Amino acid sequence: MTSRLRFVLIAGSISFLLTGCGDAFNAGTISYKDSEQFTKKQKDTPDLDGKPQLQEAVRKALADLFGPRPQEIKVPAGSGFPEGGRYLANYEKVGDGVQDIVYTEANSGKKVAVVGGYGLYRKYCLHCHGVQGAGDGPTAEFLYPLPRDYRRGVFKFTSTAPSNPKPTRADLKKTITHGLHGTSMPAFEALMSGSEIEQVIDYVIFLSMRGEVERNLISIAALVDKDDINGITADDIKESLDTVVNNWKATETLVVSPKARRTEPTRESVLRGRDIFLGKKFGTGQPVACTDCHGLHAKGDGSSFVERNIFDKVVFRRKSLDTAIEERYKELGDEHKSAQWQPGGHGGGHDSASSELPETFDAYKNRETTNWDKGSKDDWGNPLRAANLNLGVYKGGRRPIDLYWRIAKGINGAKMPAHGNLLPDDQIWDVVNFILALPYEPDLLKDAEQIKKSVTAAPAVTQR
Ligand code: HEC
Ligand code: HEC
């Protein structure tokens, strides 16, 4: 106990030293890479290109706060980690030596030497999420969607609001325990104990804090003249850290709980949910635009996003956007032509229709390029599609409360907006009931076109 107290009380810089783990898999040195903002010039993104002194100042600040290498971790004072962050590593520095970090199991009182967040991360997560949590591990390039880049401090699946709040530990625990369905993010329930999942959560938060402080410092340094040796001050560093730490600490108080209990999933509720999905306004609710993104049949093909066909060509077949658009336009032309010629085919019977597509190539290209640039990217700049809601696969979990959170507060960084300010809770529950019913009853949206027309038509005026 005394040693733990001493440990927690060394304010300022509590150091852990983590030596390489024993097994071959973990052997070898790895080190933090600079953020791409050190050099990369991108419109609207601050960078430190051509400012070596300021680059060095940011590196130094990060090393002072978080440690110089992944194997040597410092925990910034007051960062709010359980027990001062001691479970981030497996050894702590004591005097000139190191000592095992031991965890006492709550119910059995058994003492276990911990692997530590870093060791677990290196074993299970690093090959996807990368050394500094940039989502750029060696496996990442083969995956869609890409592993999360933690450095923005933005996480998609949270129970919290408003505006890009941090996840709670419970949110992270759910993601790591059960994985994100329909993506390559695995479920770690069978591989890690409860205490190990807590250790790795500490490490994800640690990397996220480090990355966010790096981003903040780069933003400050980007405004400073390259020869200004006082470029970033101790105050700047403290402020950058405090903002990040305070956001993480606040998050546990930001959990959104529904004010109304879930409505029974009756036929009426499911149909009401369907009509809300298609844009109908009920009572105090406001009309919502789910179909703009998810499409009338909820297949994830709404008009705010680039066409599925083009998306697939770019993301999965690695074609350039221009090539994909040209090919698609040609395909549409061919389909259109053959429809003209097949009696009983799609366009059969429209004798007067020309074999030209109704839209010129330029107009088509313009629209799809805009959709791609504006709509079809997430906050990390990666390709994004709205979910197909007919499959019954939900990244953030399939419990009614998970879907409540997705709809009420949106998916951070991924264009799916919060609807808590548009729909009262009972109507959100109707939508949840509809979403959960849809995969089993695709016919719910069979007549979506007609229903949408009738539910969104202007209210009938009573004629005298
Ligand atoms: C095979 C690759 C892979 C491995 C291994 C992996 N992840 Fe992920 N992880 C992903 C992908 C892909 C996503 C993003 C999915 C998306 O955005 O839809 C993700 C997302 C996450 C998120 C973000 C959730 C959110 O709300 O935004 C966290 C946290 C996370 N992973 C933690 C971990 C941890 C901890 C480990 C190791 C114990 C791990 N991951 C291992 C692929 C992986
Ligand atoms: C501006 C576009 C947009 C609008 C409007 C929108 N969504 Fe989404 N929605 C998305 C995107 C994009 C995703 C996928 C995010 C991802 O995969 O990370 C998504 C995902 C979802 C998911 C899947 C959640 C999960 O855990 O995988 C559900 C359910 C959902 N939306 C329901 C709705 C409902 C209901 C509405 C209307 C009340 C709506 N969305 C409105 C863009 C939108």
Give tens-digit pLDDT for 97-148.
888 898 888 888 888 889 999 999 999 999 999 999 999 999 999 999 999 9
Query: Whose atoms come closest to the Cα of 125: which ligand?
Result: 1
Q: Retrieve residue 252's tokens.
A: 């546990």
pLDDT bucket at 458, cuts 50 / 70 / 90? low
Please tell me if the CB atom of residue 184 comes closer than 6 angstroms to any atom of ligand 1: yes
pLDDT of amino acid 344: 55
Q: Closest Cα to atom 32, ligand 1: which residue?
A: 176
Give tens-digit pLDDT for 64-85.
999 999 989 999 989 999 999 9
Give dist(CA 235, CA 84) in Å, integer.
23
Instruction: Say whether pLDDT at 392 is over 50.
Output: yes
Residue 252 CB coordination number (10 Å)? 13
pLDDT of amino acid 380: 92
pLDDT of amino acid 355: 63
Containing 312, the helix (H) or strand (E) segment is helix 308-315
pLDDT of amino acid 13: 38
Please tell me if the CB atom of residue 415 comes closer than 6 angstroms to any atom of ligand 2: yes
Query: Whose atoms come closest to the Cα of 411: which ligand?
Result: 2
Helix pair angle (425-437, 267-277), 10° resolution: 100
pLDDT of amino acid 356: 78
Please tell me if the CB atom of residue 65 comes closer than 6 angstroms to any atom of ligand 2: no
Instruction: Say whether pLDDT at 273 is over 60.
Output: yes
| For the CA of 143, the nearest atom of ligand 1 | 12
Please tell me if the CB atom of residue 219 comes closer than 6 angstroms to any atom of ligand 1: no
pLDDT of amino acid 126: 96
Per-residue burial over 345-383, b if 16 or more Cβ lie within 10 Å, else e, is eebeeeeeeeeebeeeeeebbeebeebbeebbebebebb
Residue 149 CB coordination number (10 Å)? 24
pLDDT of amino acid 9: 27
CB hemisphere CA count around 446 (13 angstroms):
5
Q: Mutation test of ligand 1: which of 88, 126, 129, 248 has the most ligand atoms closer than 8 Å to its C-beta? A: 129
pLDDT bucket at 228, cuts 50 / 70 / 90? confident
User: What is the number of helices (H) and of strands (E) in the chain?
Assistant: 15, 6
pLDDT of amino acid 166: 96
Please tell me if the CB atom of residue 116 comes closer than 6 angstroms to any atom of ligand 1: no
CA-nearest of 151, 145, 114 to 130 is 151
Please tell me if the CB atom of residue 288 comes closer than 6 angstroms to any atom of ligand 2: yes
Query: Whose atoms come closest to the Cα of 295: which ligand?
Result: 2
| For the CA of 435, the nearest atom of ligand 2 | 29
CA-nearest of 288, 203, 268, 290 to 433 is 268
Is 267-303+385-456 a CATH 3.40.50.1220 domain? no
The mean pLDDT of 458-464, rounded to a whole number, is 55
Please tell me if the CB atom of residue 407 comes closer than 6 angstroms to any atom of ligand 2: yes
**Contact criterion met (CB below 8 Å) for 218 and 54:** no
Instruction: Say whether pLDDT at 453 is over 50.
Output: yes
Cis geometry, peptide bond prior to residue 162 (ω within 30 degrees of 0):
yes
Report which of residues 37 and 349 the model is more confident about. Answer: 37
Please tell me if the CB atom of residue 7 comes closer than 6 angstroms to any atom of ligand 2: no
pLDDT bucket at 41, cuts 50 / 70 / 90? confident
Please tell me if the CB atom of residue 148 comes closer than 6 angstroms to any atom of ligand 2: no
Q: How far is the CA of 153 from the centre of ligand 2 (A)?
A: 21
pLDDT of amino acid 193: 92
Please tell me if the CB atom of residue 48 comes closer than 6 angstroms to any atom of ligand 2: no
Q: Closest Cα to atom 16, ligand 2: which residue?
A: 414
Please tell me if the CB atom of residue 329 comes closer than 6 angstroms to any atom of ligand 1: no
Q: How far is CA 296 from CA 161, 219, 220, 444, 453, in A?
A: 28, 42, 45, 11, 11
Lowest mean pLDDT among 61-70, 381-390, 394-403, 452-461: 452-461
Please tell me if the CB atom of residue 180 comes closer than 6 angstroms to any atom of ligand 1: yes
Give tens-digit pLDDT for 337-372.
888 766 654 544 444 455 678 889 999 999 999 989
CB hemisphere CA count around 334 (13 angstroms):
6
pLDDT of amino acid 8: 29
Q: Closest Cα to atom 38, ligand 2: which residue?
A: 290
Q: How far is the CA of 387 from the centre of ligand 2 (A)?
A: 6
Q: For all residues of the chain together, what is the average pLDDT?
A: 88
Give tens-digit pLDDT for 290-333.
999 999 999 999 988 999 999 999 999 999 999 999 999 999 99
Q: How far is the CA of 58 from the centre of ligand 2 (A)?
A: 37
Q: Closest Cα to atom 14, ligand 2: which residue?
A: 386
CATH 1.10.760.10 residue spans of the chain: 267-303+385-456
Q: How far is the CA of 122 from the centre of ligand 2 (A)?
A: 32
Q: Retrieve residue 278's tokens.
A: 């298609």
pLDDT bucket at 23, cuts 50 / 70 / 90? very low
Q: How far is the CA of 205 from the centre of ligand 1 (A)?
A: 13
pLDDT of amino acid 358: 84
Q: Closest Cα to atom 13, ligand 1: which residue?
A: 147
pLDDT of amino acid 11: 28
- Burial of residue 173 (number of CB atoms within 10 Å: 0-12, 13-18, 19+): middle
pLDDT of amino acid 339: 80
Q: Closest Cα to atom 2, ligand 2: which residue?
A: 293
| For the CA of 302, the nearest atom of ligand 2 | 2
Q: How far is CA 89 from CA 70, 76, 202, 214, 357, in A?
A: 10, 14, 10, 21, 62
Instruction: Say whether pLDDT at 15 is over 60.
Output: no
Say what the pTM is: 0.91
Give tens-digit pLDDT for 163-216.
889 999 999 999 999 999 999 999 999 999 999 999 999 999 999 999 999 999
Beta bridge partners of 74: 15
pLDDT of amino acid 28: 60
